[in-house]
Amino acid sequence: MAITKEAIKTFGLTEEQLLEMHYKMLLARAVSVRQRVLQRMGKGPMTFSGEGHEAVQVGTAFALRPGRDWVFAYYRDVAVALTVGMTPVEILRGFFARRDDISSGGRNMPSHFSHPDLRIVSGSAPIATQIPHAVGAALAAKLRKLDEISVAYFGDGATSTGDWHESMNFAGVHKLPMVFVCEFNGYAISVPWRKQAAIENVAVRAAGYGFPGVTLNGNDVLEVYGAMTEAVKRARSGEGPTLIEAKTYRLQPHSSDDDDRRYRTREEVEQWAQKDPIVVFAMSLHELGVLDDKSEQELNDRVNREVDEATDKVEQESTPEPESALRHVFVEGGASNG
Amino acid sequence: MAEKNMVEAIHDAMFEEMKRDDRIIVMGEDVGEGGVFRATDGFVAEFGEERCMDTPLAESCIVGAAIGASLNGIIPIAEIQFADFSHPAFDQLVSEAARLHYRSNGTWSCPIVVRTPYGSGIHGGPYHSQSIEAFYAHVPGLKVICVASPYDAKGLLKSAIRDPNPVVFLEHKKAYRAFRQEIPDGDYTIPIGQAETKREGSDISLITYGMMTHHSLKAAETLEQEDGTSVEVIDLRTVSPWDKERVLGSVKKTGKALIVYEDNITGGFGAEVAATIAQDAFDYLDGPVTRVASPDVPISPYSGILEEYILPNPEKIAEAIRKLAAY
């Protein structure tokens, strides 16, 4: 979809909102890059990158109501977390495993985002296990007649799992207020899509579960936003779930322990780098007159400053008390449902 | 007071809790028509299809959706039709329900109950007979209850539903209709983690749970009459957390410990009980800590002859008591 003034008008987005989307994408990129650099410096054992996925993540999360809609993210979703309202400080506390890390207090690996006030639900590392939880939260919203929706985020690898299929089926049967967002980057770590499935577009599977699936350009933040807005509307109005398949690309290896040169050609990576969603969107904003060289520089400076300040701050913060490792196995203090 | 069998007691516990608190729902396969063991008989008529929800046949999603619903103000009781079919949900129980509170540093919690019939002795073959308590007792973050009598089942199920943590509630299916027991009319609960001394004794401490409690009581009766051996029978009722104090107190009194469980012997929950006694009551022991359990075969064969050969029964338990008493 070409980004024209007319198209933007149909989305009802203001210039400020367009710039906010761009800012979140830049911020997510900068936070990811920073973590990779810090990992190489020996400041933390592990990073996962969401670089390349920013348009899918910001475009979908921008259509949600933070703190009311439910977010079941996975480990690439740094831009989802930031768009819904987490801060670079909160993300980096996870990387540095600081005591005050809202996601897990240094218990989960980095990028396993959690923030109760923002309804970003703590996730695990097994693939797709969060998707039934999204189903359950949506089921609860329906039973309680609440105006809330639930979003399950996952990569294409997840679509081979039983939990994914079981969740799609359950959500279809009960017409649940939820959206399935597939950040399709073509690889389950090293396994290409052609070895994962015998179909080109995973969105066609939605028909088998009784609801619509759409395939779209996941590097176009506004195309994603438009589809997500429709899906959210469907969910909220009781029409049931939607599967959004956003084709994108992971510009970095799976994790700091992965060497993607073993399974991806440099030519392929370079081709996708040319379609970098942040570069594409910046160009569009220039064409629309929303961004110029000066304001772009200011925005970049702001992002870099925020990430610098967050890094400096969090690096100085306290680590968890060792003996706190024994806490929170069970709910403390005798809380009861009785 | 009314006499109830265990299925009726379980039915009543859920029914009363759902009347008390409209956040509670039941979800699972066939629960809408009352369930294969009739534990939810009449629930749809009383509570509607939304609070007694038939689900697709997909155990992982039953437990996973229960977890998700529990995050958003619902207290789900997920029914897995047979414990043998809970394995597809192992990931959801172990990776998710058990770890959610811990991994979020105490900020998310997961108040669900997963009920399932377990246990052997009903010609169930290898897939309607399994004991699964050891799998889950090994996992920090889960509470695991094993019941085999109406009174305990009702009181402990109510506690499980009111507990803010995930609880695996195992109901011995042979005990569902095997006998009736007086149940008080009013509301009552039994604390999770509290064993009960079902029979006082002074010569040997017999620690058990589930259906083996009944077999052990029979064996203890026989030994009292035939040999004059006085056996104390402790029903753990909860295997995680378990009542170490009561067990150790008894063993320190009698000096001998016999542990009886239905599961196959290696790595069964009784091994944990034995290790704890060996470590914490060593100075009081007057004989080897002994286990009676099933041999290491996939429990249990369909044929009654084969099944009887495998499972502990009152005679096998009595024999073990005699041997330990003579030590």
Q: In Å, how far is A101's CA from the nearest CA of chain B?
A: 9
The domain limits of chain A are 5-317
Q: pLDDT at position A332, please?
A: 87
pLDDT of residue B1: 85
Which 8-state DSSP code applies to residue A319?
A: P
Asked whether the beta carbons of residue A112 and residue B68 sit closer than 8 angstroms, the reply is no
For an interface test with B, give the residue of A168, A319, A329, A332 to mutate (most B CBs within 10 A). Answer: A329
Q: Are residues B159 and B263 in the same domain?
A: no
CB B34 within 8 A of CB B26: no
Q: Whole-angstrom Cα distance, residue A19 to residue A14?
A: 9
Distance CA A162, CA A184 (A): 18
pLDDT given at position A333: 76
Question: Are residues B71 and A336, on separate chains, in Cβ contact within 8 Å?
Answer: no
The C-alpha of B59 sits at a distance from chain A's nearest C-alpha, in angstroms, of 9
Give ipTM to 2 decimals.
Answer: 0.96
> Which residue reads 């008894």 in tokens?
B250
- Whether B246 and B208 have beta carbons less than 8 Å apart is answered as no
Work out the widest C-alpha separation in chain A, in whole angstroms: 61
What's the pLDDT tens digit per position in B237-284?
999 999 999 999 999 999 999 999 999 999 999 999 999 999 999 999
Q: Name which CATH class applies to A5-317.
A: alpha beta
Classified as helix, coil or strand, A109 is: coil
Q: Cβ atoms within 10 A of the Cβ of A314, count?
A: 20
What tokens does A282 get?
A: 């910046």
Helical pair A277-287 and A54-61, crossing angle rounded to 10 deg:
60
Considering the domain architecture, whether residues B93 and B209 belong to the same structural domain is answered as: no
Residue B189 lies in a domain: no
State pLDDT tens for residues B208-224.
999 999 999 999 999 99
Examine the domain organization and report whether B174 and B215 are in the same domain: no
Q: Are residues B102 and B245 in the same domain?
A: no
Q: Is residue B188 one of the residues assigned to a domain? A: no
What tokens does A98 get? 């600081």
Q: Which of these three, B183, B208, B233, is where a domain ends?
A: B183
Residues of A in Cβ contact (< 8 Å) with B165: 330-331
Residues of chain B with pLDDT under 50: none
pLDDT in tens for each of the 338 residues of chain A?
A: 556 677 677 788 999 999 999 999 999 999 999 999 999 999 999 999 999 999 999 999 999 999 999 999 999 999 999 999 999 999 999 999 999 999 999 999 999 999 999 999 999 999 999 999 999 999 999 999 999 999 999 999 999 999 999 999 999 999 999 999 999 999 999 999 999 999 999 999 999 999 999 999 999 999 999 999 999 999 999 999 999 999 999 999 999 999 999 999 999 999 999 999 999 999 999 999 999 999 999 999 999 999 999 999 999 999 999 999 999 999 987 655 65
Count CA within 13 A, CB hemisphere, residue A209: 27
Angle between helices A54-61 and A221-236 (to 10 degrees): 40
Q: Do A331 and B76 touch (CB under 8 A)?
A: no
Instruction: Single out the residue in B183, B206, B229 at which a domain terminates.
Output: B183
Domain that holds residue B236: 196-326
CATH number where B226 lies: 3.40.50.920
